[in-house]
């Protein structure tokens, strides 16, 4: 009887550990609109005034790097105007979804950097659509991918998935708009590792102090450059 009891306890411990080990960390999809706190809902006359609201969120400034990309965008104004026009088919829906999560409306400009607001865009790394979602992210957010269907190309479904992912990142990185941008490009796990390294050394967590690839570092000033131009259209 004593031997049976020991066996029973051993089995219980084994299965208990097994059950614990397969419980996942909080999944990306476990974010609801009510969990994100931001500015109160407002009414706007058009999509641009919505993006340019004075009550918007602040991003870490990078004057010299942002100025460099601003000049690049404005070098060919005709091309830049065509680029901006690409987004006008989708911006309203994107802003509506961002508003549901009380996220910075400036994030509506992200697909300009990711895909030139082209839903059929495909990168060499396998990222697809307006938001350049990778296959893994698409699966996490239930975007169907098969021989016949690729929902990452769907501008509405991919927007819902991408913004839910942005909401998750925004929540994960203490509602810091700049860190959310970096996490979207470089990946949240990598960014958290770099933040821990800086904190362990007593250094401030800034874009310039983070160890990032050139592409990830430039991601933020590219975004800020488009943001500045859109917010000052008559100036530029």
Residues ≥6 apart with Cβ < 8 Å to 42: 53, 55
Residue 53: what pLDDT?
73
Give tens-digit pLDDT for 176-213. Answer: 999 999 999 999 999 999 999 999 999 999 888 999 99
pLDDT > 60? residue 17: no
**Cβ 115 vs Cβ 129: under 8 Å:** yes
| CA nearest to 46, candidates 90, 92, 83 | 92
* 191-195 CB contacts, 8 Å cutoff, 24+ apart: none
Average model confidence (pLDDT) across the chain:
82
**Cβ 180 vs Cβ 154: under 8 Å:** no
Rounded (to 5) percent helix, strand, coil in the chain: 60, 0, 40
Place of tokens 């865009």: 121
Give tens-digit pLDDT for 106-157. Answer: 999 999 999 999 999 999 888 999 999 999 999 999 888 878 888 899 999 9
- SS3 of residue 9 by DSSP: helix
Residue 35: what pLDDT?
52
pLDDT > 60? residue 29: no
pLDDT > 50? residue 3: no
Range picked from 15-24, 45-54, 153-162 for highest mean pLDDT: 153-162
| 221: Cα separation from own chain's centroid | 15
Cβ-based neighbour number of residue 16 at 10 Å: 10
Structure tokens at 70: 């601003």
Identify which has the larger pLDDT, 62 or 109: 109
Residue 21: what pLDDT?
26
CA trace torsion 46, 51, 52, 54 (10° rounding): 110
Sorting pLDDT into bands at 50, 70 and 90, what band is 19?
Answer: very low
Residue 16: what pLDDT?
39
**Rounded distance between C-alpha atoms, residue 172 and residue 163, angstroms:** 14
Q: What is the CA radius of gyration of the chain?
A: 21
**Rounded distance between C-alpha atoms, residue 131 and residue 183, angstroms:** 14
Residues ≥6 apart with Cβ < 8 Å to 118: 86, 130
DSSP state of 203: -
**Cβ 220 vs Cβ 59: under 8 Å:** yes
Exposed/middle/buried for residue 50 (C-beta within 10 Å: 0-12, 13-18, 19+): buried
């Amino acid at each position: 009887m004593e031997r049976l009891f020991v066996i029973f306890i051993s089995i219980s411990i084994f299965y208990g550990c097994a059950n614990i080990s397969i419980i996942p960390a909080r999944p990306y999809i476990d974010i609801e609109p009510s969990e994100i706190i931001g500015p109160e809902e407002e009414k706007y006359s058009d999509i641009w005034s919505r993006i340019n609201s004075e009550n918007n969120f602040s991003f870490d400034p990078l004057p010299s790097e942002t100025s460099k990309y601003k000049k690049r965008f404005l070098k060919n104004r005709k091309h830049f105007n065509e680029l901006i026009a690409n987004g006008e088919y989708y911006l309203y829906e994107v802003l509506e979804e961002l508003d549901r999560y009380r996220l910075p409306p400036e994030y509506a400009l992200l697909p300009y950097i990711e895909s030139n607001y082209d839903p059929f865009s495909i990168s060499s790394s396998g990222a697809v659509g307006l938001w350049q979602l990778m296959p893994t992210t698409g699966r996490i957010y239930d975007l169907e991918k098969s021989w016949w269907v690729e929902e990452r190309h769907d501008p509405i479904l991919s927007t819902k998935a991408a913004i839910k992912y942005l909401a998750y990142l925004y929540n994960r990185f203490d509602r810091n708009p700049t860190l959310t941008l970096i996490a979207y490009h470089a990946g949240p796990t990598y960014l958290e590792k770099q933040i821990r390294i800086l904190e362990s050394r007593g250094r401030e967590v800034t874009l310039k102090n983070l160890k990032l690839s050139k592409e990830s570092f430039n991601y933020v000033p590219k975004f800020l450059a488009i943001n500045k131009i859109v917010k000052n259209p008559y100036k530029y």
